[in-house]
Structure 1
Amino acid sequence: MTTDLSATEAAKPRTIQWEDIKLPAWVSGLIGIVGIIAVWWILAATVFSNVGPGGVQAIPTPPQVLIEFFNTGWEFYVRNFGVTLAEAGIGYLWGNGLALTLSALVLIVPRLEGVVMQIAIITYCIPIVALGLLLTVIVPIPTSGQPSTTAIFLAALSCFFTTVVGALLGLKAADKASLDLITVYGGSRLTQLRKVRLIASLPSILNALQIAVPAAFLGAVLGEFFGKITVGVGPAMIAAQQALNSARVWDIALVSGAVALLGYGLLGLVARAIAPWSKGVSK
């Protein structure tokens, strides 16, 4: 009797629950993007449809932003974003290179850890706006089309703290048994760093470098607001704002987000190729 009831219950169709529906990651992301655009369009066409001073709508609709993007032309974005990406790239190399060097030095000379962490915390706590204003007085004005020293410095500063913290956490996460084995065989701290710590810290370092990509880009854009330059994302946004061209301001902002996200994703792919175990992927 019990067997017959079990068979009957098994034969009944099971109601599909929300938990049973598993969508691929790209589908979930696409649904989120479509939802955001839909909400933006509705709000721009209803709640924020009022036209402000100068006959400008503060929040344009997606079609207005798209039309302005094509009317502006591809050359405009290549010219301005090329300068900003150069500043962000140089600052990224300087900031992360210095952070990784100091982190490795702490493992060789442990007494320097307090000094390095204090430097990292100071760079994180200093108001970047105040520092940008100070740099405008110190550094020379770049020639037209050349990278701004202020933007490079702020880009390097923006990614220094996260990389120091991530690198130190990763370097200290090495297996103690492996470190003791190198010590028993007469190895130095430098040997421990090369043979064990670097490999163990690779996932943490790569994650920190990935986070530093959008941080460096943001630092470069902020630096351009103080750098007294005429070409770049910052000057282009200021010019669009002064011309009351809200659609172009939104275009520049959205392209900036897309560029930062693209850099973040590309470095994520590099990290997955270099250290597949850090992302749960096996070669």
Structure 2
Amino acid sequence: MTTDSPVAPPVAPKGRPIQWESVKLPAWLTGLIGGIGIIILWWMVATLYVTSTGAHPIPTPLQVVQSYVESGWEYYWRNFSVTLAEAGIGYLWGNGIALILAALVLVIPRLEGVATQLAIITYCIPIVAVGMLAIVVIPAPQVGEPSGTAVLLAALSVFFTTVVGALLGLKSADKSSLDLVAVYGGSRLTQLVKVRLIAALPAILSALQIAVPAAFLGAVLGEFFGKIEVGVGIAMILAQQNSNAPLVWALALASGAVALLGFALVGLVARAIAPWSKGKSR
């Protein structure tokens, strides 16, 4: 009588190649690698451009850093504080009017056509044309005070996005929940407060987050029309007129960083208020 000996399981060969597709890097490391790659590419392009043309329109990262040091903190604070005030005021006005208009549409459905047309008009009219009209109508501000033109353009820059986001979010409420409120004698206003606002919160917060860099961009654009002495826009114009390329790039990069920081801060607030919108629970 013979017995079969147990068969040993196959052994994975040594030196097996790494499956790079399954390797996942942390988000911070991926961002760091991407940032370093962009800086290296930027440095190479700036160096090659200067070597081939002899001009200096593209400064190196080191020249931009030196520009930050030479200008000093006070210079950036003096200009960015005014632009941030303009963007903040325009952000509040534009988003506030957009949210009120979206709520009115749900209470009075006949206003939907008017609200949609108004949002489309504000989006389709060239913002430069609005700025040209505003600079004539709105008086010049005092030195260091927010510009009315910049505030107006900041508000217009966020209005369309917030109206559309709020309307889509408010209309996404569960129909059975709305019917339940109606059965118990609730009005459209009760449905808006009890059901629609909760359902629309993720969409509204996403729209408010997207509106942050748009408001800052609108404020900077409003400063390009003049009648101001302090602000990021006028600082860029003066640096360009003086052929100070490193300062122009420094102001542009600082503007992007400020807009990105505001976007991230509103995102953190949105995640704290409505964690379910990011797939998380309390």
- 1:128 is aligned with what amino acid? I
Tell me: CA distance 1:4–1:122, structure 2 relative to 1, closer, same or farther (3 Å).
Answer: farther
Contact residue 210 and residue 263 of structure 2 kept, 8 A = yes
Q: Once the 2 structures are TM-superposed, how far is the Cα of residue 227 of structure 1 from its aligned partner? A: 4.0
Provide Cα deviations, 1:187-241, integer angstroms capped at 9, x if missing partner.
Answer: 0000000000000000000000000000000000000011410100001000100
- 1:18 is aligned with what amino acid? W
- 2:42 is aligned with what amino acid? W
Contact residue 149 and residue 227 of structure 1 kept, 8 A = no
Tell me: CA distance 1:19–1:207, structure 2 relative to 1, closer, same or farther (3 Å).
Answer: same
- Structure 2 residue aligned with 1:236: 235
- Structure 2 residue aligned with 1:42: 44
Q: Once the 2 structures are TM-superposed, how far is the Cα of residue 51 of structure 1 from its aligned partner? A: 3.4
Q: Once the 2 structures are TM-superposed, how far is the Cα of residue 4 of structure 1 from its aligned partner? A: 4.2
Give the ranges of 4+ consecutive aligned residues of structure 1 lying more than 6 Å apart after TM superposition: none
Instruction: Confirm or deny that 1:68 pairs with 2:67.
Output: yes
- Structure 2 residue aligned with 1:246: 245
Secondary structure of the structure 1 residue equivalent to 2:59: coil
- Structure 2 residue aligned with 1:21: 23
- 2:247 is aligned with what amino acid? R
- 1:66 is aligned with what amino acid? V
Name the CA distance, whole Å, in 2 between partners of 1:114 and 1:48. Answer: 55
* TM-score w.r.t. length of structure 2: 0.95
Name the CA distance, whole Å, in 1 between partners of 2:75 and 2:276. Answer: 41
Name the CA distance, whole Å, in 1 between partners of 2:241 and 2:29. Answer: 39
Name the CA distance, whole Å, in 2 between partners of 1:166 and 1:230. Answer: 36
- Structure 2 residue aligned with 1:145: 144
Tell me: CA distance 1:156–1:43, structure 2 relative to 1, closer, same or farther (3 Å).
Answer: same
Contact residue 151 and residue 227 of structure 1 kept, 8 A = no
Q: Once the 2 structures are TM-superposed, how far is the Cα of residue 126 of structure 1 from its aligned partner? A: 0.6
- Structure 2 residue aligned with 1:111: 110
- 1:21 is aligned with what amino acid? V
Aligned ranges for residues 195-214 of structure 1 at < 5 Å? 195-214=194-213
- 2:201 is aligned with what amino acid? L
- Structure 1 residue aligned with 2:128: 129
Contact residue 123 and residue 161 of structure 1 kept, 8 A = yes
* TM-score w.r.t. length of structure 1: 0.95
Q: Identify the range of structure 1 (254-263 vs 128-137) with the bigger mean alpha-carbon deviation.
A: 128-137
Contact residue 80 and residue 231 of structure 1 kept, 8 A = yes
Secondary structure of the structure 2 residue equivalent to 1:47: helix
Q: Gaps spanning 5+ residues in structure 1: where?
A: none
Identity of aligned residues (%): 69
Provide Cα deviations, 1:124-148, integer angstroms capped at 9, x if missing partner.
Answer: 0010111111111111011111100
Aligned ranges for residues 133-212 of structure 1 at < 5 Å? 133-212=132-211
- 1:42 is aligned with what amino acid? M
Q: Gaps spanning 5+ residues in structure 2: where?
A: none
Contact residue 83 and residue 146 of structure 1 kept, 8 A = yes
Count of residues in correspondence between the two structures: 277
